[in-house]
Chains A and B, each alone.
Chain A
Amino acid sequence: MKNIILTRIDDRLLHGQVMVSWIPLLEINEVIIIDDEYAADEFMSNLIVESSPVNLTVKVLSVKDSAEYILSGSNDSRVLLISRSVESINNLLEMKVPIHKINVGGLGYLEGRKKYYNFIHMSDNEFKLLKEIAGKGISVEVQMLPKDKVTTLK
């Protein structure tokens, strides 16, 4: 079991807010990007891994591989899970990955999505899924940056 410090849903993945605010604050040293599409795309996953700072381990894994990786033996790193979609996180939960808290940090506007909070846009399905996750006793928190106010989804 890896030591999961934060699980974040953000469609910009490892972008400025995460790099500059969350990672130093939580002293994260390993990031797992859970994304089937990018994991299958060698160029993209290379780009993501290449772009990470030297003292940060970054892995781009599919949902299945990341579940296996997280559940396999422990190491002493502090892990950040980050994914573009609510669905991937839900699949991860179904694979019995113990996540207790989900941070919803940014979901941009797409066709079919509507606005729920500042910079959080979801389709009806995504919102329903997130509600279901919250119903399972997992705390779902909408918060862009550490200093922002936390809105807990119920």
Chain B
Amino acid sequence: MTVLSFILISLLYFWCSSTALSFGIGYYTLYRPIISGMLAGLILKDIILGMLAGSIVNILYINFVSTGGSFKGDQCLTAIIAAMATILFKLNPIEGAAFAYPFGYVGIFIWKYRLNINSIFVKKYNERYKNNLNPSISVYNGLLPQILLYFMSTLVIIVSLGIMLLLKDLMLMYHEILKNCLFLVGVCLINISIISVLYNFKNLKIIILFFAILFITLLTDISSYLVMIILFLIISYLSFNDFCYIEKHKKKDFIILNKRDLVYSWFIWMNFSHSCYNYERLQGFAFAHSMKNIINKLYKDNETRKRNINKYTEFFNTEPNIGTPIHGFIISLEEERYIGKDTVDISYIKKGMMGIAAGLGDSFTQVVLAPLFMSIALIFCIDRKFIGIIFPVSLLIAAILYISYSGWMSGYYNGREAMIKRINKIKNNKIKKYFPLIFSGILGVLIGKLIIQNYFLLKQDLINVGIVTIIAFLYTFIRLKSNVKS
């Protein structure tokens, strides 16, 4: 590995895990193991192995959800390490993923540390504000946390590379034995991941559907493109009403802000919503950052600007795409306040709505949309039809951007009603309703493809694979049962 590729890898980890500076869709693309694995593979000049390793890691994190800054493991770091291990140690992607799996837990520490350390910027900002030093919210929300994160990411990559270097001799010396062990661990992890997803649906029909589709896939080796077309037809049938829905904006009798201001504010939010994420204010600074251009346009006096921006730094947390009607609404309230209309308590509205949007939003974008489209991308990847992942990934991007942008605008023009409409739309969304069925079907195809592609490996080791599967099944079952009891 050259110095250049090291620098690129650390830049990659920084960019992917930051979820900032990627227009709000980084979390749904760059941060996902397929994509980060692919990019790591690109750097190490073996894009296909990188992608395959990433896709196995993605299966391990198939039901990844992060709420309010907490998650099980860092899938992005795992994917990058998996890609590196697979390429540098000449492993099979399943073995590479198993090798990288423990690194995911290193990622949690980084994330928690980051949420703590970002509070420093909050403190510094407050100090400067109190001393009338006019701190810039873009510096404290955008620039400084990102620079710090870059150094932290580089450090993580250095440590990870160090560990890999230490293990290198061992890997070369006992290559065959370790390969076999890692392969079985990988199979076990895949099993655990899939079994816990199916178990959590708590529905026998869904499990039967999974196995039925798995066997059909094994027997027919159905084309991935056909699977995608069928799924897209189902999805568009179920969400037909949502697609056709164009929000009819109420005309306002006064407008100072133009569309450009709104779009710019949205652009800042999308890029920096989690830039200075911290335990004290969560997305508070990001909210203030996104209000900066609005406040600057409305008020000309520096003192007033400063005070108003500071007002928005208070604690805030929501799902960044579903929750955008809040932003639009707050912008329109701020505008009304400027005109002198007696408006309601902005802070109260903001706080009341954010929890609702987060509860509903996380259970839609993260729990339904992301796994749905990413698992279709996974089918292509596992089936080695790499070009195919473009379709589901670009559809996911389009969906996220549409949800986010339409909410923002409709919040500005329609106020409270925008939120109510959005809630009803998502609540009655049919994709969400039938998600367990669709998803278990996709998993059936996915596992079928995985078995077909790795058949020659599985065949050599059939008894061990069987034992590992049973162990994984028992382990998951016991763990999930005991979870419910406690």
Interface-lining segment among A48-56, A86-94, A96-104, A134-142: A48-56
Name the residue on B nearest A119 (C-beta). Answer: B279
Expressed in whole angstroms, the Cα–Cα distance for A26 and B485 within the complex equals: 8
CB of A118 within 8 Å of the partner chain: yes
Q: Select which of B315, B319, B353, B419 is within 8 A of A110 by beta carbon.
A: B315
Q: In the assembled complex, which residues on chain B have CB atoms less than 8 Å from the CB atom of A17?
A: 67-68, 70
Expressed in whole angstroms, the Cα–Cα distance for A11 and B361 within the complex equals: 17
CB of A109 within 8 Å of the partner chain: yes
Contact B356 A51 (CB under 8 A): yes
CB of A13 within 8 Å of the partner chain: yes
Contact B352 A38 (CB under 8 A): yes
Q: In the assembled complex, which residues on chain B have CB atoms less than 8 Å from the CB atom of A27?
A: 484
CB of B360 within 8 Å of the partner chain: yes
Name the residue on B nearest A106 (C-beta). Answer: B68
Name the residue on B nearest A48 (C-beta). Answer: B356
CB of B302 within 8 Å of the partner chain: no
Contact B359 A15 (CB under 8 A): yes
Report how many A-B pairs have Cβ atoms within 8 Å: 111
Contact B315 A108 (CB under 8 A): yes
Q: In the assembled complex, which residues on chain B have CB atoms less than 8 Å from the CB atom of A52?
A: 359, 427
Q: Mark B403-435, 1 if CB is under 8 A from A, else 0.
A: 000000000000010011001100100000000
Within A1-56, which residues are at the interface with B (CB < 8 Å)?
Answer: 11-21, 24-27, 38, 41, 43-44, 46-48, 50-54
Q: Mark B359-384, 1 if CB is under 8 A from A, else 0.
A: 11111001100000000000000000
Looking at the assembled complex, report how far the CB atom of B87 sits from the nearest CB atom of chain A, in whole angstroms.
Answer: 32
Contact A19 B351 (CB under 8 A): no
Q: In the assembled complex, which residues on chain A have CB atoms less than 8 Å from the CB atom of B70?
A: 17, 144-145, 148
Expressed in whole angstroms, the Cα–Cα distance for A142 and B272 within the complex equals: 30
Interface of B is mostly: helix
Q: Mark A42-73, 1 if CB is under 8 A from B, else 0.
A: 01101110111110000000000000000000
CB of B46 within 8 Å of the partner chain: no
Q: Select which of A16, A54, A118, A147 is within 8 A of B359 by beta carbon.
A: A16
Q: Mark B448-486, 1 if CB is under 8 A from A, else 0.
A: 000000000000000000000000000000000001100
Contact A108 B363 (CB under 8 A): no
CB of B191 within 8 Å of the partner chain: no
Looking at the assembled complex, report how far the CB atom of B476 sits from the nearest CB atom of chain A, in whole angstroms.
Answer: 15
CB of B298 within 8 Å of the partner chain: no
Expressed in whole angstroms, the Cα–Cα distance for A77 and B115 within the complex equals: 37
Q: In the assembled complex, which residues on chain B have CB atoms less than 8 Å from the CB atom of A144?
A: 68, 70
Expressed in whole angstroms, the Cα–Cα distance for A46 and B387 within the complex equals: 46
CB of B135 within 8 Å of the partner chain: no
Looking at the assembled complex, report how far the CB atom of A17 sits from the nearest CB atom of chain B, in whole angstroms.
Answer: 4
Contact A118 B419 (CB under 8 A): no
Contact B363 A53 (CB under 8 A): yes
Q: In the assembled complex, which residues on chain A have CB atoms less than 8 Å from the CB atom of B284?
A: 109
Q: In the assembled complex, which residues on chain A have CB atoms less than 8 Å from the CB atom of B388?
A: none
The winner among A25, A50, A54, A108 for most chain B CB atoms within 10 A is A108
Q: In the assembled complex, which residues on chain A have CB atoms less than 8 Å from the CB atom of B280?
A: 108-109, 115, 121
CB of B354 within 8 Å of the partner chain: yes
Contact B367 A15 (CB under 8 A): no
Contact B279 A118 (CB under 8 A): yes
Looking at the assembled complex, report how far the CB atom of B315 sits from the nearest CB atom of chain A, in whole angstroms.
Answer: 3
Contact A47 B68 (CB under 8 A): no
Expressed in whole angstroms, the Cα–Cα distance for A44 and B344 within the complex equals: 13
Q: In the assembled complex, which residues on chain B have CB atoms less than 8 Å from the CB atom of A21?
A: 67
Name the residue on B nearest A114 (C-beta). Answer: B280
CB of B116 within 8 Å of the partner chain: yes
In the complex, besides A47-B356, A50-B424, A145-B67, 5 extra interface pairs with C-beta distance below 8 angstroms are A12-B317, A15-B68, A16-B68, A25-B484, A109-B315
Give me 25 A-to-B residue pairs in the complex whose CB atoms sit less than 8 angstroms apart, sorted by A's number.
A12-B317, A13-B356, A15-B67, A16-B67, A16-B68, A16-B366, A17-B70, A19-B360, A19-B362, A20-B67, A26-B484, A38-B352, A43-B416, A50-B420, A50-B424, A53-B427, A108-B315, A108-B317, A109-B314, A109-B315, A119-B69, A119-B279, A119-B282, A144-B70, A145-B67
Chain A residues in the interface with B (C-beta under 8 A)? 11-21, 24-27, 38, 41, 43-44, 46-48, 50-54, 106, 108-110, 115, 118-119, 121, 144-148
